[in-house]
Amino acid sequence: MDLIQRLQELPPQHYAVAGVCLVLLVLFLLKLGFGLVKKIIFLGLFVVLALVILVTLQG
């Protein structure tokens, strides 16, 4: 996966910034009252980001 290789090349502080931005985005969307499907999609994106961070920490 080319995307994962690129993500692994980023410095750790980028993950912290991306994580905070993603959490704020999710909270903002939940506040707007988006549909259940969209909430699930964003939860999925959040889980993917968490997995990427874990892989990077282990690598």
CA angle 28, 40, 48 (to 5 degrees): 90
pTM of the model: 0.40
| Domain residue ranges of the chain, discontinuous segments joined by + | 2-58
Q: Which tens digit of pLDDT belongs to each residue from 17-58?
A: 777 877 887 777 777 766 777 777 878 888 888 878 777 776
